[in-house]
DNA sequence: CAGAATCCGCACAGATACTG
DNA sequence: CAGTATCTGTGCGGATTCTG
Protein backbone atom coordinates (compact mmCIF):
# COMPACT_ATOMS: atom_id res chain seq x y z
CA UNK A 1 0.00 0.00 0.00
CA UNK A 2 1.28 3.37 -0.97
CA UNK A 3 2.43 5.81 1.65
CA UNK A 4 0.64 9.04 2.16
CA UNK A 5 1.24 11.81 -0.29
CA UNK A 6 2.17 15.24 0.84
CA UNK A 7 -1.18 16.47 -0.38
CA UNK A 8 -2.88 14.20 2.13
CA UNK A 9 -1.07 15.91 4.94
CA UNK A 10 -2.62 19.25 4.12
CA UNK A 11 -5.59 20.57 5.97
CA UNK A 12 -8.84 20.02 4.21
CA UNK A 13 -11.49 22.60 3.55
CA UNK A 14 -14.90 21.10 2.99
CA UNK A 15 -16.73 24.39 2.79
CA UNK A 16 -18.32 24.40 -0.63
CA UNK A 17 -19.68 27.25 -2.70
CA UNK A 18 -22.76 25.51 -4.02
CA UNK A 19 -25.54 23.46 -2.53
CA UNK A 20 -23.42 20.37 -2.05
CA UNK A 21 -22.59 21.72 1.34
CA UNK A 22 -26.04 20.87 2.55
CA UNK A 23 -26.01 17.25 1.46
CA UNK A 24 -22.36 16.83 2.31
CA UNK A 25 -21.73 17.99 5.87
CA UNK A 26 -18.32 18.07 7.46
CA UNK A 27 -16.76 14.66 7.29
CA UNK A 28 -15.76 14.50 10.90
CA UNK A 29 -19.34 15.01 12.00
CA UNK A 30 -20.60 11.83 10.45
CA UNK A 31 -17.75 9.48 9.77
CA UNK A 32 -15.94 10.41 12.93
CA UNK A 33 -12.59 8.93 12.00
CA UNK A 34 -12.23 9.48 8.30
CA UNK A 35 -10.04 12.49 9.01
CA UNK A 36 -8.72 14.28 12.05
CA UNK A 37 -7.08 17.51 13.16
CA UNK A 38 -3.58 17.04 11.90
CA UNK A 39 -4.78 16.09 8.44
CA UNK A 40 -4.01 12.41 8.82
CA UNK A 41 -6.58 9.68 8.65
CA UNK A 42 -6.61 6.95 11.31
CA UNK A 43 -8.00 4.40 8.89
CA UNK A 44 -5.25 5.11 6.40
CA UNK A 45 -2.68 5.12 9.16
CA UNK A 46 -3.65 1.58 10.09
CA UNK A 47 -4.07 0.36 6.54
CA UNK A 48 -0.67 1.73 5.60
CA UNK A 49 0.69 -0.72 8.15
CA UNK A 50 -1.47 -3.81 7.97
CA UNK A 51 -3.15 -3.26 4.60
CA UNK A 52 -0.42 -4.91 2.59
CA UNK A 53 -0.65 -8.31 1.01
CA UNK A 54 0.28 -10.44 3.98
CA UNK A 55 -0.09 -8.65 7.31
CA UNK A 56 -3.73 -9.51 7.93
CA UNK A 57 -3.15 -13.14 7.07
CA UNK A 58 -0.25 -13.31 9.49
CA UNK A 59 -2.30 -11.76 12.27
CA UNK A 60 -5.17 -14.10 11.55
CA UNK A 61 -2.96 -17.15 11.70
CA UNK A 62 -1.28 -16.04 14.89
CA UNK A 63 -4.65 -15.90 16.62
CA UNK A 64 -4.29 -19.59 17.31
CA UNK A 65 -1.34 -18.95 19.57
CA UNK A 66 2.40 -19.21 19.27
CA UNK A 67 3.77 -20.41 15.95
CA UNK A 68 7.30 -20.92 14.74
CA UNK A 69 8.63 -19.34 11.57
CA UNK A 70 8.47 -22.23 9.18
CA UNK A 71 5.20 -23.50 10.62
CA UNK A 72 3.73 -20.09 9.89
CA UNK A 73 5.23 -20.23 6.44
CA UNK A 74 3.42 -23.49 5.78
CA UNK A 75 0.16 -22.14 7.18
CA UNK A 76 0.18 -19.16 4.87
CA UNK A 77 0.43 -20.92 1.56
CA UNK A 78 1.99 -18.80 -1.12
CA UNK A 79 4.02 -16.45 1.06
CA UNK A 80 7.71 -16.25 0.30
CA UNK A 81 10.33 -16.53 2.95
CA UNK A 82 11.34 -12.95 2.42
CA UNK A 83 7.84 -11.55 2.70
CA UNK A 84 7.13 -13.51 5.86
CA UNK A 85 10.28 -12.10 7.42
CA UNK A 86 9.54 -8.56 6.28
CA UNK A 87 5.91 -8.74 7.35
CA UNK A 88 6.69 -10.17 10.76
CA UNK A 89 9.35 -7.53 11.37
CA UNK A 90 6.93 -4.80 10.45
CA UNK A 91 4.25 -6.16 12.76
CA UNK A 92 6.78 -6.55 15.54
CA UNK A 93 7.86 -2.98 15.01
CA UNK A 94 4.30 -1.76 15.50
CA UNK A 95 3.93 -3.75 18.69
CA UNK A 96 1.42 -6.16 17.20
CA UNK A 97 3.59 -9.26 17.18
CA UNK A 98 5.96 -10.63 19.79
CA UNK A 99 9.12 -12.36 18.67
CA UNK A 100 10.90 -14.74 20.99
CA UNK A 101 14.25 -16.24 20.06
CA UNK A 102 15.36 -19.40 21.81
CA UNK A 103 19.15 -19.57 21.45
CA UNK A 104 19.28 -23.27 20.70
CA UNK A 105 20.84 -25.02 17.79
CA UNK A 106 19.16 -25.03 15.41
CA UNK A 107 17.52 -21.78 16.50
CA UNK A 108 13.87 -21.67 17.44
CA UNK A 109 11.96 -18.46 16.89
CA UNK A 110 8.42 -18.18 18.11
CA UNK A 111 5.90 -15.59 17.07
CA UNK A 112 2.70 -14.62 18.84
CA UNK A 113 0.29 -11.74 19.04
CA UNK A 114 0.74 -9.06 21.66
CA UNK A 115 -2.39 -7.84 23.47
CA UNK A 116 -2.44 -4.98 20.99
CA UNK A 117 -2.29 -7.45 18.12
CA UNK A 118 -5.07 -9.51 19.63
CA UNK A 119 -7.27 -6.46 19.92
CA UNK A 120 -6.70 -5.74 16.24
CA UNK A 121 -7.63 -9.29 15.36
CA UNK A 122 -11.20 -8.60 16.46
CA UNK A 123 -12.12 -5.95 13.87
CA UNK A 124 -10.24 -7.97 11.30
CA UNK A 125 -12.44 -10.92 12.15
CA UNK A 126 -15.39 -8.64 11.48
CA UNK A 127 -14.07 -8.04 7.99
CA UNK A 128 -13.44 -11.73 7.56
CA UNK A 129 -16.96 -12.59 8.58
CA UNK A 130 -18.31 -10.07 6.10
CA UNK A 131 -16.12 -11.62 3.44
CA UNK A 132 -17.49 -15.07 4.10
CA UNK A 133 -21.05 -13.85 4.11
CA UNK A 134 -20.89 -11.68 1.01
CA UNK A 135 -18.23 -12.90 -1.35
CA UNK A 136 -20.68 -14.82 -3.47
CA UNK A 137 -22.86 -11.78 -3.91
CA UNK A 138 -19.83 -9.71 -4.88
CA UNK A 139 -18.93 -12.30 -7.49
CA UNK A 140 -22.44 -12.22 -8.92
CA UNK A 141 -22.52 -8.43 -9.05
CA UNK A 142 -19.17 -8.39 -10.75
CA UNK A 143 -20.25 -10.96 -13.30
CA UNK A 144 -23.37 -8.94 -14.05
CA UNK A 145 -21.42 -5.73 -14.46
CA UNK A 146 -18.91 -7.38 -16.79
CA UNK A 147 -21.68 -8.98 -18.82
CA UNK A 148 -23.66 -5.85 -19.57
CA UNK A 149 -20.61 -3.80 -20.47
CA UNK B 1 -2.69 -4.80 -3.84
CA UNK B 2 -1.13 -7.74 -5.61
CA UNK B 3 -3.29 -10.43 -7.09
CA UNK B 4 -3.15 -13.96 -5.81
CA UNK B 5 -0.31 -16.13 -6.92
CA UNK B 6 -0.87 -19.54 -8.37
CA UNK B 7 0.71 -21.02 -5.30
CA UNK B 8 -2.07 -19.57 -3.17
CA UNK B 9 -4.61 -21.50 -5.14
CA UNK B 10 -3.13 -24.81 -4.10
CA UNK B 11 -4.53 -26.88 -1.33
CA UNK B 12 -2.66 -26.59 1.90
CA UNK B 13 -1.34 -29.38 4.00
CA UNK B 14 -0.86 -28.44 7.61
CA UNK B 15 0.09 -31.88 8.80
CA UNK B 16 3.50 -31.49 10.33
CA UNK B 17 6.14 -34.03 11.13
CA UNK B 18 7.19 -32.59 14.47
CA UNK B 19 5.40 -31.42 17.56
CA UNK B 20 4.26 -28.18 16.01
CA UNK B 21 1.18 -30.03 14.92
CA UNK B 22 -0.09 -30.00 18.45
CA UNK B 23 0.22 -26.27 18.98
CA UNK B 24 -0.85 -25.47 15.43
CA UNK B 25 -4.12 -27.20 14.60
CA UNK B 26 -5.85 -26.97 11.28
CA UNK B 27 -6.40 -23.36 10.37
CA UNK B 28 -10.04 -23.73 9.43
CA UNK B 29 -10.82 -25.06 12.88
CA UNK B 30 -9.85 -21.90 14.66
CA UNK B 31 -9.74 -19.00 12.25
CA UNK B 32 -12.75 -20.18 10.30
CA UNK B 33 -12.26 -17.95 7.33
CA UNK B 34 -8.54 -17.70 6.83
CA UNK B 35 -8.79 -20.32 4.11
CA UNK B 36 -11.53 -22.38 2.53
CA UNK B 37 -12.12 -25.43 0.38
CA UNK B 38 -11.13 -24.12 -3.03
CA UNK B 39 -7.86 -22.74 -1.72
CA UNK B 40 -8.93 -19.12 -1.82
CA UNK B 41 -9.11 -16.89 1.21
CA UNK B 42 -12.21 -14.76 1.83
CA UNK B 43 -10.23 -12.08 3.60
CA UNK B 44 -7.80 -11.82 0.75
CA UNK B 45 -10.64 -11.88 -1.73
CA UNK B 46 -12.15 -8.81 -0.10
CA UNK B 47 -8.86 -7.06 0.48
CA UNK B 48 -7.85 -7.56 -3.11
CA UNK B 49 -10.88 -5.45 -3.96
CA UNK B 50 -11.15 -2.82 -1.27
CA UNK B 51 -7.66 -3.02 0.20
CA UNK B 52 -6.12 -0.54 -2.17
CA UNK B 53 -5.18 3.01 -1.33
CA UNK B 54 -8.53 4.69 -1.80
CA UNK B 55 -11.44 2.24 -1.72
CA UNK B 56 -12.02 2.31 2.01
CA UNK B 57 -11.88 6.08 2.13
CA UNK B 58 -14.43 6.30 -0.66
CA UNK B 59 -16.77 3.89 1.12
CA UNK B 60 -16.34 5.77 4.37
CA UNK B 61 -17.17 9.09 2.78
CA UNK B 62 -20.18 7.70 0.97
CA UNK B 63 -21.67 6.62 4.28
CA UNK B 64 -23.07 10.10 4.64
CA UNK B 65 -25.33 9.59 1.67
CA UNK B 66 -25.27 10.60 -1.96
CA UNK B 67 -22.29 12.62 -3.15
CA UNK B 68 -21.39 14.00 -6.54
CA UNK B 69 -18.07 13.32 -8.19
CA UNK B 70 -16.22 16.54 -7.53
CA UNK B 71 -17.69 16.91 -4.06
CA UNK B 72 -16.28 13.49 -3.27
CA UNK B 73 -13.00 14.56 -4.78
CA UNK B 74 -12.85 17.50 -2.38
CA UNK B 75 -13.79 15.34 0.58
CA UNK B 76 -10.98 12.89 -0.04
CA UNK B 77 -8.05 15.24 0.01
CA UNK B 78 -5.11 13.99 -1.97
CA UNK B 79 -6.93 11.72 -4.39
CA UNK B 80 -6.35 12.35 -8.06
CA UNK B 81 -9.17 12.60 -10.54
CA UNK B 82 -8.05 9.44 -12.23
CA UNK B 83 -7.85 7.38 -9.06
CA UNK B 84 -11.27 8.51 -7.92
CA UNK B 85 -12.71 7.43 -11.25
CA UNK B 86 -10.91 4.12 -11.21
CA UNK B 87 -11.79 3.42 -7.60
CA UNK B 88 -15.46 4.28 -8.05
CA UNK B 89 -15.68 2.11 -11.14
CA UNK B 90 -14.16 -0.79 -9.29
CA UNK B 91 -16.55 -0.41 -6.38
CA UNK B 92 -19.49 -0.11 -8.73
CA UNK B 93 -18.35 -3.26 -10.49
CA UNK B 94 -18.42 -5.16 -7.22
CA UNK B 95 -21.90 -3.93 -6.43
CA UNK B 96 -20.77 -1.78 -3.52
CA UNK B 97 -21.44 1.61 -5.05
CA UNK B 98 -24.37 2.86 -7.10
CA UNK B 99 -23.75 5.33 -9.89
CA UNK B 100 -26.58 7.50 -11.15
CA UNK B 101 -26.09 9.74 -14.17
CA UNK B 102 -28.47 12.64 -14.63
CA UNK B 103 -28.33 13.59 -18.34
CA UNK B 104 -28.29 17.31 -17.78
CA UNK B 105 -25.84 19.88 -19.01
CA UNK B 106 -23.43 20.03 -17.38
CA UNK B 107 -23.79 16.38 -16.37
CA UNK B 108 -24.53 15.41 -12.80
CA UNK B 109 -23.29 12.08 -11.54
CA UNK B 110 -24.25 10.93 -8.09
CA UNK B 111 -22.61 8.16 -6.13
CA UNK B 112 -24.02 6.32 -3.15
CA UNK B 113 -23.54 3.04 -1.32
CA UNK B 114 -25.64 0.04 -2.24
CA UNK B 115 -27.04 -2.06 0.62
CA UNK B 116 -24.07 -4.34 0.09
CA UNK B 117 -21.74 -1.37 0.37
CA UNK B 118 -23.45 -0.19 3.54
CA UNK B 119 -23.06 -3.61 5.10
CA UNK B 120 -19.34 -3.48 4.37
CA UNK B 121 -19.10 -0.06 5.96
CA UNK B 122 -19.87 -1.60 9.33
CA UNK B 123 -16.81 -3.84 9.70
CA UNK B 124 -14.76 -1.04 8.20
CA UNK B 125 -16.01 1.21 10.94
CA UNK B 126 -14.81 -1.40 13.38
CA UNK B 127 -11.34 -1.09 11.94
CA UNK B 128 -11.60 2.69 12.03
CA UNK B 129 -12.60 2.67 15.66
CA UNK B 130 -9.65 0.48 16.48
CA UNK B 131 -7.44 2.88 14.58
CA UNK B 132 -8.67 5.83 16.60
CA UNK B 133 -8.24 3.98 19.87
CA UNK B 134 -4.80 2.52 19.24
CA UNK B 135 -2.84 4.61 16.81
CA UNK B 136 -1.00 6.43 19.56
CA UNK B 137 0.09 3.20 21.11
CA UNK B 138 1.28 1.93 17.75
CA UNK B 139 3.33 5.09 17.33
CA UNK B 140 4.91 4.63 20.73
CA UNK B 141 5.71 0.99 20.10
CA UNK B 142 7.23 1.87 16.78
CA UNK B 143 9.33 4.64 18.28
CA UNK B 144 10.56 2.27 20.97
CA UNK B 145 11.47 -0.40 18.42
CA UNK B 146 13.34 2.08 16.25
CA UNK B 147 15.16 3.51 19.25
CA UNK B 148 16.59 0.28 20.57
CA UNK B 149 17.68 -0.92 17.16
C1' DC C 1 15.92 -23.48 11.26
C1' DA C 2 15.44 -18.80 10.49
C1' DG C 3 16.92 -15.61 8.45
C1' DA C 4 19.89 -11.60 5.36
C1' DA C 5 21.23 -9.75 0.89
C1' DT C 6 20.66 -8.81 -3.82
C1' DC C 7 18.46 -8.41 -8.18
C1' DC C 8 14.50 -7.34 -10.83
C1' DG C 9 9.72 -7.13 -13.10
C1' DC C 10 5.53 -5.08 -13.17
C1' DA C 11 1.33 -3.25 -11.42
C1' DC C 12 -0.31 0.69 -8.88
C1' DA C 13 -0.82 5.22 -8.75
C1' DG C 14 0.54 10.26 -9.92
C1' DA C 15 0.85 13.98 -13.44
C1' DT C 16 -0.72 16.02 -17.38
C1' DA C 17 -3.54 16.94 -21.35
C1' DC C 18 -7.79 16.58 -23.72
C1' DT C 19 -13.28 16.07 -24.26
C1' DG C 20 -18.76 15.56 -24.50
C1' DC D 1 -18.93 18.75 -14.55
C1' DA D 2 -17.27 14.38 -15.02
C1' DG D 3 -14.78 12.10 -16.98
C1' DT D 4 -10.99 9.60 -20.74
C1' DA D 5 -6.18 8.84 -22.61
C1' DT D 6 -1.37 8.42 -22.24
C1' DC D 7 2.99 8.48 -20.24
C1' DT D 8 5.91 7.67 -16.52
C1' DG D 9 8.28 6.30 -12.06
C1' DT D 10 8.37 4.03 -7.86
C1' DG D 11 8.02 0.55 -4.60
C1' DC D 12 5.99 -3.90 -3.59
C1' DG D 13 6.83 -8.37 -3.65
C1' DG D 14 8.88 -12.77 -6.10
C1' DA D 15 13.06 -15.52 -7.07
C1' DT D 16 17.45 -16.76 -5.92
C1' DT D 17 21.61 -17.24 -3.28
C1' DC D 18 24.16 -17.35 0.93
C1' DT D 19 24.81 -17.73 6.29
C1' DG D 20 25.05 -18.39 11.80
Structural domain boundaries of chain A? 42-136
Query: Among the listed ranges A68-82, B6-20, B23-37, which one has the minimum average pLDDT value?
Result: B6-20
Whether the CB-CB separation of B121 and B60 falls below 8 Å is answered with: yes
The mean pLDDT of chain A is 80
Pick B105 or A116 by higher pLDDT. Answer: A116
Per-position b or e across B86-122, b if 16+ CB within 10 A of its CB: ebbebbbbbbbbbeeeeeeeeeeebbbbbebbeebbe
Phi and psi at B49, nearest 5°, equal -100, -45
- pLDDT beyond 90 at B21: no
Query: Among the listed ranges A6-10, A53-57, A65-69, B41-45, which one has the minimum average pLDDT value?
Result: A6-10
Residue nearest to nucleotide D11 (CA to C1'): A2
Given pLDDT bands bounded at 50, 70 and 90, which one contains residue A51? confident
| For the segment 72-91 of chain A, residues whose CB is within 7 A of strand C | 81-82, 85, 88-89
Helices B55-62 & B115-148 angle (0-180, nearest 10): 130
Segment A123-147 shows an average pLDDT of: 93
Q: How far is the CA of B82 from the C1' of D8 (A)?
A: 15
CA angle B115, B40, A111 (to 5 degrees): 105
Residue nearest to nucleotide D15 (CA to C1'): A80
Given pLDDT bands bounded at 50, 70 and 90, which one contains residue B58? very high
Q: What is the pLDDT of residue B34?
A: 63
Segment B57-74 shows an average pLDDT of: 95
Residue B110's H or E segment, with its range, is strand B108-113
Q: Which residue of A has its CA nearest to B19?
A: A71
Q: What is the pLDDT of residue B37?
A: 58
Chain centre distance of CA A5: 19
Q: What is the largest CA-CA distance in chain A?
A: 70
- pLDDT beyond 70 at A18: no
Identify the CATH class of B42-136: mainly alpha
Closest-approach nucleotide to residue B78, Cα vs C1': C14
Amino acid sequence: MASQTKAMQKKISVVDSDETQKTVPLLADTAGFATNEDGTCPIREVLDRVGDTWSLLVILNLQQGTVRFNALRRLIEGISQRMLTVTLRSLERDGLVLRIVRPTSPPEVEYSLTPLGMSLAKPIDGLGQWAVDNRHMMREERARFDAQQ
